[in-house]
Chain A
């Protein structure tokens, strides 16, 4: 259940952003989570509700954008969905991928400040 540690890291960084911008409270945060990040969105939502209590994110809405895993073929350069369970091999020419384009994201994308004067 490392989602608890991850939720704590989200709250810590979002509070930092709020402080930098002179806001007392955060209305919402958006996270981008890749299919292969090894994080379960539901577990993260649950953890977030616990960790946010008593912080500037207490009433913050958590939005999770899931990012599909995509790779680029090292042979024919095609872009393809890696699928689940993942296959890092091109479905067109059966060559290993040269790189994973998306899918490992674990990113705090946006912080929305609560009503400012």
Chain B
């Protein structure tokens, strides 16, 4: 004899719930969080260092978390910008989870912060499944990585609010075909904006900051078709006042049927 229970819950419901609460709390504190996803070596840290520097020059209260399996090297590099920076050592874990961001938001994030950049572990597979309570999810790749990368990692590129191409200053030298890349992005994420950047000559740095400021100011980000189920179900309203409504602590439960015995 065997009883079976039809549960129909998201496997990552716990992370999704924590992320939803974090998103609401950050909105209340008027902080917009940006989750940066890319492969190792795509130039996330170099670009972020420049973004933080520009933000400080523009008088914006920015902070950054940077996650790696080991070493504090990235935090040291980012701290040169003068912005508050915290290294998260994942101890071998291949992605960040909402609980780790929550711990740092509660224990460390300076009160005045308006923009929080979260540099995820360099990996285009695992971090794509974990909502961190971010306002904006940005997926980056460099011109050296192959134009078809968005097709190889469709979840990471397909769920992005914004796609950023890095190291454009060497695009010519490596024979990067922008049209092939753009078509691949458009195939998995129709309508998403692609921002071309270079940490070497500063291309796109101000525009990236402008995009972040726009969503921080309440503009709705692009709605990716491959966004995780719990995000698509609730829509993505980032008006701070609407947050309680859309992402309140209880809101993440709806859509998940309560456990009900079926046999």
Contact = CB atoms under 8 A, between A and B. Distances in A.
Interface residues on B, range: 35 or more
Interface stretch (B1-9, B39-47, B68-76, B242-250): B1-9
A21 to B, nearest CB: 6
B151 interface: yes
A13 B94 contact: no
Interface string A31-57: 100001111000000000000000000
Given A2-B129, A36-B155, A21 B12 contact: no
Interface string B217-250: 0000000011111001000000000000000000
Interface residues of A, number: 42
A17 to B, nearest CB: 6
Contact of B2 (A36, A37, A113): A113
Interface string B77-108: 00000000000000001110100000000000
Name B's interface SS. mixed
B94 A100 contact: no
A60 to B, nearest CB: 12
A68 interface: no
B174 interface: no
B142 interface: no
A100 B129 contact: no
Contacts of A23: 3
Interface in A61-102: 71, 85-89, 96-97, 99-100
Nearest to A106: B11
Nearest to A96: B190
A5 B152 CA distance: 22
B187 A37 contact: no
- Dominant SS among interface residues on chain A: mixed
B155 A111 contact: no
A85 B11 contact: no
Contact of A97 (B14, B93, B130, B225): B225
Contacts, number: 128
A112 interface: yes
Contact of A10 (B3, B11, B156): B11
B212 interface: no
Contacts of B227: 104
A13 B3 contact: no
A86 B154 contact: yes
B204 interface: no
Contacts of B156: 38
Contacts of B12: 6, 9, 106
A5 B97 contact: yes
B188 interface: yes
A99 B225 contact: yes
A1 B190 contact: no
Contacts of A12: 14
A89 B187 contact: yes
Given A13-B11, A111-B7, A36 B129 contact: no
B171 interface: no
Nearest to B187: A87
The listed residue with most A CB atoms (<10 A of its CB), out of B2, B11, B154, B259, is B11
A86 B4 contact: no
Given A6-B12, A89-B187, A96-B190, A17 B152 contact: no
12 contacts: A5-B93, A9-B11, A23-B3, A31-B11, A38-B126, A88-B226, A89-B190, A103-B226, A104-B226, A104-B232, A111-B5, A113-B2
**Interchain residue pairs A-B with the least CB separation, the first 4:** A96-B190, A2-B126, A85-B151, A38-B155
